[in-house]
Amino acid sequence: MHSHNITDAESPPPLSDRAETPTPGTDRPRPTHRRGLKRSSAACQRCRRRKQKCDGALPKCGPCSTVGTPCVPSERLVVRVDPNCECERLRGQVRDLQDQISILQAQHNGQIPVFDEVDNGEGPRTQEGLSDLVQPTPELLGPARRSSPELESFYRGRMLLPTFPRTDAVNTPSPGFLSSPWHLWNGLAEASPPGDVPDTIPLELEDYSSELVDVFFTRRWPQFPVLHKPTFMERHYIPFSNGDTHNALTSFQVNMVLAIGASEQGRSRSRPQPSHHRFFEAAVRDLGSVLGSSDLDCIQCLLLLCIFGSNEPQLVNLWYTVGLALRLAVGIDLHRHETVANKALLDAEMCKRLFWSVYTMDRSICIAMGRPLGIQDADITMPLPLSMSDDRLMNPDQVPFVSPASDVKDLSTFLHVISLRRLNADIYKALHSAGETNMEGCSLEAIRQEYHRRLGDWLFSAPRYLAPTSMYQMTEWFQIAYHQGILNLYRPSHASPVATIDAIRLCADSSISLITCYNALYAKNKVTYTFVALNSLFMAAVTMLYSLRASFTLRQELTREVAESNIRSCTSLLRDISNGRAVGQRSAQIITRLGNATLAIFDTAPALGSEVDTEFMSWFGVKSQNPPEPGQPTPSIDVPWNDLFNHGFDLGGTFCNDLLL
């Protein structure tokens, strides 16, 4: 037999190694390969060159080991790295993350200070420090939740992240989907005004707490009646102030009420008081514990976080927190009337108040942030709460005092707020949806007229108070809410991208009226600062300037002097109601620049017979619907409006309530 010139690696396997299929009807056994030889072995390079048998042993085969020469494996056995493989880079990232976890765990175990009630003698914490304050509490959690304290701490920590984190081109590829608050707060992480009272003031709880509790129940409770005052005072506040309890739920609720009251009181205080951040820091220490409490208690605590977060959106993730509260409420069927069918009056009414508080908070946050609503009205069967005060709820048989005016202590304000949120949600879904708008076969004009009529009925039926204690009970606030609804109804939208002169005139009138009402509230020291209020005022100013820029007819009707006065009033008000916050200064700077640009062309007449500047509106619409390009021409007179897109602020969302085209 002559020798083959085919290497072992290229030669077919021997006949004994091949799998043979027995012929049907025969009992011949299947042959096997020779014992001691590996089927998948490949000859090393030396054995292949010498054309001799290689046993494939590692690290040296038998022939190479016998003669004592290096054994070089065949190329078939060498694993080469794929040049496109990212395994090493990913392994490096894993090692870096493990190192970071080790550092954070060391800090977590050894550097978290212990709070004494509220005062610990330290200044305000950073945003990272607040997240570290949230501690897992295994004794209050179920077995499944105790098994993963790191995961629980992660979810609780997310509530203490900013509502509007810094955006960039990497993690926000389409900034047009971000509503105005993102751009106003972008990069602003500070939570407190620079002029706040330092936290070195000695804090005696009994000197301040009762006053702050009263501030909470008179100023914020009418909008969100999440607590029953007599129950809160008896079960939580009095034992806490006397030092008779160390319950985490009590500590959290009392400190959150004090934090909200301190943030409200800070604008009208007559003596130095502790910063609201100190109470908030003390409260979040118990956040992990209250999340393990009963569902109703947990919903109450989450709503208190949201109320505080509406003042400090960079300390509480409002979107995440209100979403969790809504899911908890729906999870226990709090949106169904069957839930309260067999409950006592007090328990049933508190269930109603909690659900509708979550509802109004969800509507407010979703619309302000330009996101889908958390629950649809068609899925809700929970009845509205009764318009009863907390005292009367404890004594329902007591004959109420009949007064021609509404009672500031009952739920008349809250019920009217619910009606407003429902109406705003209907307008939002009909005109500002990201997808198909809900026109229901009707014309746009008919829909606008219907909602305009409903807004007028809402304003006409607003409760009247002889001595209102909260901003939400003031006649000016009802006017503000009405004009905000008109702006949402008539400003250019996804359903109606083209604005007529009549729509522009309505937007201009409502914008000026809204600014005037805020000015009147500030003059009476009744303005409650929230990010929604600041955004509402800012967008009213932008809408006013946009309307004046787009219509020479409106500029003639208003006059230059009146426009200057409105601009000065608005910029001053933005700085004042923000109480020294950087976001107020940023808003005022944007309005000042846009105002100067508008005043510069105030007397410029458009083309003959044109009531609106179609060239500006077309350019504005193109900028709204398409990302800015470096080569896109910009009229010199509209450079500030172009900068509004490219630097300070983007109006290009397709479903935001603050959309302009």
Cβ–Cβ under 8 Å, residues 425 and 379: no
Cβ–Cβ under 8 Å, residues 215 and 525: no
Q: Is the pLDDT score of 192 beyond 90?
A: no
Cβ–Cβ under 8 Å, residues 588 and 575: yes
Give one DSSP letter per residue of 249-316, joined into a string: HHHHHHHHHHHHHHHHHTTT-SS----HHHHHHHHHTTHHHHTTS-HHHHHHHHHHHHHHHHH-TTTS
pLDDT tier, 625 (very low <50, low <70, confident <90, very high otherwise): very low
pLDDT 10s digits, 591-620? 888 888 888 888 777 665 566 665 565 545
pLDDT for 498 equals 60
What average pLDDT does the segment 220-234 reach?
Answer: 95
pLDDT for 459 equals 96
Of 51-60, 124-133, 479-488, 537-546, highest mean pLDDT = 479-488
What average pLDDT does the segment 73-90 reach?
Answer: 68
Q: Which amino acid is at 22?
A: P
pLDDT tier, 269 (very low <50, low <70, confident <90, very high otherwise): low
User: Which of 448, 400, 399, 402 lies closest to 426, judged by CA?
Assistant: 448
Which range among 296-300, 404-408, 523-527 shows the weakest confidence by mean pLDDT?
A: 404-408
Return d(Cα 575, Cα 228) in angstroms, integer: 35
Q: Domain ranges in the chain?
A: 7-14+42-64, 202-390
Return d(Cα 388, Cα 412) in angstroms, integer: 8
pLDDT for 187 equals 57
What average pLDDT does the segment 159-179 reach?
Answer: 57
pLDDT for 253 equals 94
Q: Is the pLDDT score of 137 beyond 90?
A: no
Q: Is the pLDDT score of 468 beyond 50?
A: yes
pLDDT for 1 equals 46
Higher-pLDDT residue of 83, 291: 291
**Burial classification of residue 453, based on how many CB atoms lie within 10 Å of its CB (0-12 exposed, 13-18 middle, 19 or more buried):** exposed
pLDDT for 528 equals 80
User: Which of 131, 245, 248, 659 lies closest to 432, judged by CA?
Assistant: 659
418 alpha carbon, distance to own chain's centre = 21
The two three-digit tokens of residue 507, written as one number: 């937007």
Which range among 23-32, 131-140, 370-379, 650-659 shows the weakest confidence by mean pLDDT?
A: 650-659
Q: Is the pLDDT score of 19 beyond 50?
A: no
What average pLDDT does the segment 333-355 reach?
Answer: 94
Cβ–Cβ under 8 Å, residues 354 and 300: yes
Within 8 A by CB and 6+ apart from 320, the residues are 158, 159, 161
Of 160-174, 444-458, 566-580, highest mean pLDDT = 444-458
pLDDT for 500 equals 79
Q: How many CA atoms lie within 13 A of 654 on its CB side?
A: 11
pLDDT tier, 146 (very low <50, low <70, confident <90, very high otherwise): very low
Higher-pLDDT residue of 148, 185: 185
Q: Which amino acid is at 70?
A: P
Overall pTM > 0.75: no
The two three-digit tokens of residue 483, written as one number: 């004009």
Higher-pLDDT residue of 638, 560: 560
Within 8 A by CB and 6+ apart from 208, the residues are 258, 262, 273, 274
Higher-pLDDT residue of 246, 338: 338
Distances (CA, A) of 97 to 91, 100, 103: 10, 5, 10
Higher-pLDDT residue of 561, 86: 561
Distances (CA, A) of 634 to 596, 617, 631: 17, 13, 9
pLDDT for 579 equals 78
Which range among 91-95, 313-317, 335-339, 436-440 shows the weakest confidence by mean pLDDT?
A: 436-440
Higher-pLDDT residue of 512, 528: 512
pLDDT for 557 equals 86
What average pLDDT does the segment 495-500 reach?
Answer: 68
The two three-digit tokens of residue 605, written as one number: 């007449």
Cβ–Cβ under 8 Å, residues 413 and 478: no
C-alpha dihedral, 493 to 496 to 500 to 506, nearest 10°? -50
pLDDT for 167 equals 57
Secondary element (H or E) of residue 477: helix 475-490
What average pLDDT does the segment 79-103 reach?
Answer: 74
pLDDT tier, 272 (very low <50, low <70, confident <90, very high otherwise): low
Cβ–Cβ under 8 Å, residues 396 and 345: yes
Q: Which amino acid is at 105?
A: Q
Higher-pLDDT residue of 599, 383: 383
Give one DSSP letter per residue of 175-197, joined into a string: GGGS-HHHHHHTT----S-TTPP
pLDDT for 430 equals 86
What average pLDDT does the segment 517-544 reach?
Answer: 87
Return d(Cα 304, Cα 259) in angstroms, integer: 10
What average pLDDT does the segment 268-283 reach?
Answer: 73
pLDDT tier, 173 (very low <50, low <70, confident <90, very high otherwise): very low
pLDDT tier, 640 (very low <50, low <70, confident <90, very high otherwise): low
Cβ–Cβ under 8 Å, residues 124 and 190: no
C-alpha dihedral, 395 to 398 to 404 to 406, nearest 10°? 0
Portion of the chain with pLDDT greater than 70, in percent: 64
pLDDT tier, 121 (very low <50, low <70, confident <90, very high otherwise): very low
Cβ–Cβ under 8 Å, residues 569 and 519: yes
What integer best gives the mean pLDDT of the chain?
A: 75
User: Which of 598, 604, 495 lies closest to 547, judged by CA?
Assistant: 598
Q: Which residue has the tokens 């085209």?
A: 661
User: Which of 181, 153, 34 lies closest to 534, judged by CA?
Assistant: 181
Return d(Cα 210, Cα 302) in angstroms, integer: 22
Return d(Cα 409, Cα 225) in angstroms, integer: 10
Higher-pLDDT residue of 446, 117: 446
Q: Is the pLDDT score of 129 beyond 50?
A: no
pLDDT for 315 equals 86
DSSP percent split of the chain into helix, strand, coil, nearest 5 = 55, 0, 45
Return d(Cα 138, Cα 14) in angstroms, integer: 66
Residues 220-229 as b/e (b if ≥16 CB within 10 A, e otherwise) read bbbbbbbbbb
User: Which of 411, 365, 41 lies closest to 226, judged by CA?
Assistant: 411
pLDDT tier, 577 (very low <50, low <70, confident <90, very high otherwise): confident
Within 8 A by CB and 6+ apart from 110, the residues are none
Tell me if residue 155 falls in helix, strand or coil. helix
Of 45-54, 188-197, 286-295, 407-416, highest mean pLDDT = 407-416
